[in-house]
Amino acid sequence: MRTIRITGTGSALPGRIVTNKELEQMVETSDEWIRERTGIAERHVSVGETVVTLASEAAHKALEQAGKRAEEIDLILVATCSPEQYLPCCACQVQAAVGAVNALAFDVNAACSGFLFALNTADAYLRTGLAKNALIIGSEVLSKLVDWTDRSSCILFGDGAGAVVVERCEASPGILGRALHSDGTGGGVLQCGARELTTPYARTSAAKTDQKQQTDDREHYIQMDGQEVYRFATRRVPQCIEEALADAGLAVPDIDLFVLHQANARIIDAVAKRLHADREKFPTNLERVGNLSSASIPVLLDELHRQGKLHRGDRIVLAGFGAGLTIGACVMTW
């Protein structure tokens, strides 16, 4: 049976670190409140790095580790919800930056579930023979979408990119089970408007009031009902993991590591508790990087891999949730 195997990982974080203490100077908050409610102590913030430069750096490292030349790659997927440009897509820009001249390249936007959705898209391409290998990247510069005067959201997010090289193989067990879902009716819970909401034609034909203008300005930043997202995540992530495990014919005790989207330490605690799983099996890096949206899972995977904490044959669960609403889990053999 054809399946896929991750053969290389890489990540990139901007050099500038913003600590909770620094945020205390910007909004009415405290290091203690942020640590207690989220587990986050600091995050990396772009001072010029872009979704494409971070993605390209992570991609170079993943290719190097996989021992693959860029020209050998035939599919590039970039998961992002914070591109700098509408056109061309980030994946095509990464293709040009790394020299993957033979690859098909396009973006996937499923917010914080983006990497998982992209991984499963690549799996479908590889299993059906449409591609032999793929570069899958999650990359975000969320700092440009964050309202730095809103203390309830600006404390959460960071910038960075993670990449994996996946290759088709006949023997490896690869992805064993999955569960992916979207619920567009929950879109209002977590949203961010495009910079230009009205066409020049609409602007000239219908003058806006000052009040409407102010509303539009707010819509350009991430707006989130934090408690609702929290409830969604703590209820649906364990269900989704159980569903993926059932698809794989496995149970919670069979899993060596749960690599979850790094949104909030309390969410991870709650998921572990609901699954009756050992909390030690849920590694985190959110203390140092915050919520990296689609980059969250691949950055953590790369850190674990380079620290020697992933071993061939380990059974791992990847799980993410985010705007859309979207949610996904997949069970794989490393």
Residues catalogued as catalytic: 112, 261, 291
Other C-beta atoms closer than 10 Å to the C-beta of 277 total: 18
Chain-centroid distance, C-alpha 279: 21
Size of the site for ligand ACO (CB under 6 A): 23
> Considering only CA atoms, which of 299, 274, 275, 295 is closest in space to residue 283?
299
Give the residue nearest to ligand ACO (CB): 322
Using CA atoms, how far apart are residues 144 and 220, in angstroms rounded to an integer? Answer: 10
Rule CB under 6 A: is residue 111 a binding residue for ligand ACO? yes
Using CA atoms, how far apart are residues 174 and 179, in angstroms rounded to an integer? Answer: 15
Binding-site member from 51, 100, 263, 265 for ligand ACO (CB under 6 A): 263
Residue list 127-156, contact with ligand ACO (CB under 6 A): 151-152, 155-156
Binding-site member from 2, 16, 24, 29 for ligand ACO (CB under 6 A): 29
| Cβ 152 to ligand ACO shortest distance, Å | 4
Residue list 47-106, contact with ligand ACO (CB under 6 A): none
Provide CB contacts within 8 A for 216, sequence distance 6+: 193, 197, 208
Omega within 30 of 0 (cis) for the link into 116: no
Rule CB under 6 A: is residue 230 a binding residue for ligand ACO? yes
Angle of CA points 67, 72, 73, to nearest 5°:
95
| Cβ 276 to ligand ACO shortest distance, Å | 23
Rule CB under 6 A: is residue 229 a binding residue for ligand ACO? yes
Rule CB under 6 A: is residue 161 a binding residue for ligand ACO? no
Rule CB under 6 A: is residue 112 a binding residue for ligand ACO? yes
Instruction: Compare residues 56 and 153 and give the one whose CB is closer to ligand ACO.
Output: 153
| Cβ 37 to ligand ACO shortest distance, Å | 4
Asked if 316 and 334 touch (Cβ cutoff 8 Å), the reply is: yes
Instruction: Compare residues 152 and 284 and give the one whose CB is closer to ligand ACO.
Output: 152
Binding-site member from 323, 327, 330, 332 for ligand ACO (CB under 6 A): 323
| Cβ 44 to ligand ACO shortest distance, Å | 16
Asked if 117 and 328 touch (Cβ cutoff 8 Å), the reply is: yes
| Cβ 86 to ligand ACO shortest distance, Å | 20
Binding-site member from 79, 291, 299, 302 for ligand ACO (CB under 6 A): 291
Binding-site member from 33, 144, 147, 256 for ligand ACO (CB under 6 A): 33
Chain-centroid distance, C-alpha 258: 15
Other C-beta atoms closer than 10 Å to the C-beta of 318 total: 25
What length is written for the chain? 334
Rule CB under 6 A: is residue 226 a binding residue for ligand ACO? yes
Angle of CA points 18, 81, 114, to nearest 5°:
105
**Beta partners for 322?**
326
Rule CB under 6 A: is residue 181 a binding residue for ligand ACO? no
The four Cα atoms 261, 258, 40, 300 give a dihedral, to 10 degrees, of -70
Angle of CA points 261, 184, 322, to nearest 5°:
10
Residues that bind ligand ACO (CB under 6 A): 29, 33-34, 37-38, 111-112, 151-152, 155-156, 190, 224, 226-227, 229-230, 263-264, 291, 293, 322-323
